[in-house]
Amino acid sequence: MTASFPRAEVVIDLEALRHNVTLLAERAPGADLMAVVKADAYGHGALPVARAAIEAGATWLGTCSLSEALDLRHGGVTTRLLSWLDVPTADFAAGIEADVDLAASSVDELRRIADAAGQVGKQARVHLKIDTGLSRNGCPPAEWPALVEAAAAEPRVDVVAIWSHLACADEPGHPSVDAQAKRFSEAYDIARAAGLEPMRHIANSAAVLTRPDLHFDLVRTGIAMYGLNPVPQQENLRPVMSFRSTVALTKRLPAGESVSYGHTWTAERDTTLALVPVGYGDGVPRSLSGRMDVWLGGRRRPVAGRVCMDQLMVDCGADAPAVGEEVVLFGAGEAGAPTAREWADKLGTIDYEIVTSMYRPRVRRRYLGGPA
């Protein structure tokens, strides 16, 4: 136990990741699978996740920024790679040089990409994005015919795909999904009429699990690959990330003594406290003070008093955990242990945000089930 005595660590189970990728690929048998690894793979580490996803059958990778895409290329990843959202000053030429597919939402963006392709002396592979109703990036339907015509007439770009993103796929039956699908189909007809023969992609994780009619040529899976289920129905996904620490100190506390800043918690009986050396400096939200449990010694135990920057105290009652014993802050939830979803529900957010915020300099990352 002492040999691996982490102060705080995020453990990434690549075997679970591969299981999830396999499950998702089986659910979309006619489509290629893009592993979405933006934001450092939702906090799981872009390179190891990309490699494991490819081993399990992913044939595409997706990133938000060009710099994320280039980092993957510099890490030796040669898989097809789409980077979809950047600023006008981004180095598109470097992306084209490194075989990164780029997205365009406007004629203006298309021109910048084409100019970069001209500089490099190589066609740019472009995915034209239609805004079908999320109203974020993507080309509005009114401007779509002009974008499609400009792209069809531009020899410096190769239009690989048209694509879009769904607003409410995590609420199966939401009428916006069909409305977006209809606009997507209209956009496709316009592209075909302009002489293009693009692939189509619109499905995120939730649509992979609930809308086989929207799988088309390629699906873009993020959250479900990390084992977190975005839809109400039960799915056999395995959470990939767990957040762990160890007991650093234990002490007996007499009844009537109070614990941590503000003395918000007072022992009603003599008890044993376990000090766990993680706090909001390590990703434990202070706003979970007084309403979180940890998994320690085979059961859930409540955190006593405020979560501090560097430490929290666990009320262990009559039990006396050993110094060095493992503490799970959140994980796969076996036997009722806390999960990222439980944190998200308590905090009024989604589990995407919990795992993505776990990249902290003080928290060590450890990989299971594959090369680190």
Ligand X SMILES: *Cc1c(COP(=O)(O)O)cnc(C)c1O
* Binding-site residue ranges for substrate: 136, 309
83-102 binders of ligand X (CB under 6 A): 84
Instruction: Give the residue nearest to ligand X (CB).
Output: 222
Tell the residue number behind the tokens 């499905």, with chain if given: 203
The binder of ligand X chosen from 45, 222, 279, 331 (CB under 6 A): 222
Angle, helix 144-152 to helix 107-120, in steps of 10 degrees: 20
Three-class secondary structure of residue 119 per DSSP: helix
The two structure tokens encoding residue 30:
């006619």
Three-class secondary structure of residue 170 per DSSP: coil
Closer residue to ligand X (CB): 159 or 203: 203
Find, among 105, 53, 122, the residue nearest to 81 by Cα. 53
Closer residue to ligand X (CB): 217 or 257: 217
Annotated binding site: 136, 309
36 binds ligand X (CB under 6 A): yes
What's the Cα-to-Cα distance from 5 to each of 9, 121, 267, 361, 363, rounded to whole Å?
A: 10, 53, 29, 17, 12
CB-count exposure of residue 366 (10 Å: 0-12, 13-18, 19+): middle
- Using a CB cutoff of 8 Å and minimum separation of 24, what contacts does 330-337 make? 330/242, 330/243, 330/354, 331/11, 331/239, 331/241, 331/242, 331/243, 331/244, 331/295, 332/13, 332/16, 332/227, 332/238, 332/239, 332/242, 333/239, 335/298, 336/300, 337/295, 337/300
Closer residue to ligand X (CB): 216 or 265: 216
**Least spacing, CB of residue 165 vs ligand X, in Å:** 4
The binder of ligand X chosen from 20, 106, 204, 210 (CB under 6 A): 204
Segment interacting with ligand X (CB under 6 A) among 15-23, 202-210, 312-320, 363-371 = 202-210
Closer residue to ligand X (CB): 222 or 305: 222
Where are any strands of DSSP class E within 156-246? 157-163, 199-201, 218-221, 241-246
**Least spacing, CB of residue 26 vs ligand X, in Å:** 16
223 binds ligand X (CB under 6 A): yes
**Least spacing, CB of residue 347 vs ligand X, in Å:** 19
**Least spacing, CB of residue 93 vs ligand X, in Å:** 23
x-or-dash string of contact with ligand X, 140-179, rule CB under 6 A: -------------------------x--------------
220 binds ligand X (CB under 6 A): yes
200 binds ligand X (CB under 6 A): no
Active site positions, annotated: 38, 261
Do the strands 32-36 and 218-221 form a parallel or antiparallel pair, or are they unpaired? Answer: parallel
Closer residue to ligand X (CB): 84 or 92: 84
Segment interacting with ligand X (CB under 6 A) among 172-180, 192-200, 221-229, 310-318 = 221-229
Please report, as ranges, the residues that interact with ligand X according to CB under 6 A. Answer: 36, 38, 84, 165, 204-206, 220-223, 230
